[in-house]
């Protein structure tokens, strides 16, 4: 399996406390990689290191390398905005932009100058809304405020908005945790469809969700990667005691 993202000797600190300890990982292309672990184990930190979001916080430090397609995204010559265009992010709680449904999707297309105004833009917006499984529900109110949608619809809108900038990687930070079960199912189904084209990295603390979605699993504990490998191996034959304990529900 081809490696898409490679993490080498990654350490991250919030002030004095170390959140990630010497992480080495390879994340395969066009697969769903799920990062699991108890709260505070560093899974969100690891995810945020992949689109350089860690540096937005105060007092964060980072060392090591994250290579996407073999290029270190922390190299000094890298343009952060260009790099972030390659990764789409689904946050824990959906945050639509303060504009219409249409403009939410068109926003990325406009700032990156990906297509012209008019019919071409309309077509693209429709395409990405369809890809996110939202088109049928919103086609009659495209120019209404995005905040009028339900939380579940908002999360799919955020997915469409992220897909519109044509990323290679989709990062999900517990993207279904704020959603009702039906909406969560919607998102899960979409992610499974999307892995044909995108590399998906998902943080979750829901074990059953991990089992449903994962091709590849990373289990973290206290800032370290305890175990990683193909989902079937990790779930059925965990090698480490700590993984076994977590899977048995002891954490």
Partner 1 sequence: MKNRHFAKRHVEEGIFKALMIGSFALLSASLGFILLTIIIKGLPALNLAMLIQTPKGGYYLGKEGGILNAILGSLYLAGGGTLLALLFSLPLALFLKVYTNHSHWSDMVRLALDVLWGIPSIVYGAFGFTIMLALNMRASLLAGIIVLALLELPIMTRAMDEIIRMTPFDLEQASLALGATRLETAVHVVLRQMLPGIVTAILLAFGRGIGDAASVLFTAGYTDRIPTSLMRPAASLPLAVFFQLSTPFPEVQRRAYASALILTAIVLTISLGSRWLSGRLGKFVVK
Contacting residues toward partner 1, per CB under 8 A? 51, 53, 56, 58, 81-89, 91, 93, 95-100, 107-108, 111-112, 145-147, 158, 161-162, 165
What is the smallest separation between the CB atom of 170 and partner 1, expressed in angstroms?
11
Helix/strand/coil for 14 = strand
Residue whose pair of structure tokens reads 């010559």 in the numeric block = 77
We find the least distance from the C-beta atom of residue 154 to partner 1, in angstroms, to be 9
Whichever of 190 and 242 has its CB closer to partner 1, that residue is: 190
Residue 95 Cβ vs partner 1, minimum distance, rounded to whole Å: 4
* Selection from 85, 183, 200 nearest residue 134 by Cα: 183
> Other CB atoms closer than 10 Å to residue 13's CB: what's the count?
16
Q: Which is nearer to partner 1, 3 or 177 (CB)?
A: 177
Question: Would you say 49 or 87 has its CB closer to partner 1?
Answer: 87
> CB 81 → partner 1: shortest distance, Å?
5
Q: Between 37 and 94, name the residue whose CB sits nearer to partner 1.
A: 94
Nearer to partner 1, 157 or 214 (CB): 157
Closest by alpha carbon to 191, among 109, 108, 88? 88
Query: Residue 98 CB, nearest distance to partner 1 (Å)?
Result: 4
Least CB distance from residue 92 to partner 1, whole Å? 9
> Smaller CB distance to partner 1: residue 34 or 83?
83
3-state secondary structure of 210: helix
Structure tokens, 54: 């860690």
Q: How many residues does the chain have?
A: 251
Token duo for residue 222: 């206290």
The whole-angstrom separation of Cα 18 and Cα 55 is: 15
**44-57 b/e with 16+ CB inside 10 Å = b?**
bbbbbbbbbbbeee
3-state secondary structure of 25: strand
């Amino acid at each position: 399996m081809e490696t898409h993202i490679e993490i080498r000797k990654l350490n991250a600190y919030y002030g004095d406390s170390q959140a990630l300890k010497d992480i080495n990982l390879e994340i395969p292309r066009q697969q769903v990689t799920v990062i699991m672990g108890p709260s505070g184990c560093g899974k969100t930190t690891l995810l945020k290191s992949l689109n350089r979001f860690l540096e937005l916080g105060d007092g964060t430090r980072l060392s090591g390398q994250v290579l996407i397609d073999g290029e270190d995204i922390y190299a000094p010559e890298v343009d952060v905005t260009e790099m972030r265009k390659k990764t789409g992010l689904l946050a824990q709680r959906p945050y639509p932009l303060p504009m219409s449904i249409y403009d939410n999707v068109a926003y990325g297309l406009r700032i990156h100058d990906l297509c012209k105004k008019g019919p071409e833009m309309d077509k693209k917006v429709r395409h990405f809304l369809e890809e996110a499984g939202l088109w049928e529900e919103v086609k009659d109110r495209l120019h209404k405020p995005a905040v009028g949608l339900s939380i579940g619809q908002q999360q799919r809108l955020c997915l469409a908005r992220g897909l519109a900038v044509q990323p290679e990687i989709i990062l999900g930070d517990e993207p279904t945790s704020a959603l009702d079960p039906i909406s969560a199912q919607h998102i899960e189904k979409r992610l499974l469809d999307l892995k044909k084209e995108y590399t998906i990295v998902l943080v979750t603390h829901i074990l059953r969700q991990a089992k449903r979605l994962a091709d590849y699993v990373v289990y973290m504990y206290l800032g370290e990667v305890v175990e990683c490998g193909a989902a079937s191996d990790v779930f059925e034959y965990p090698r480490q005691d700590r993984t076994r304990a977590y899977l048995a529900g002891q954490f």
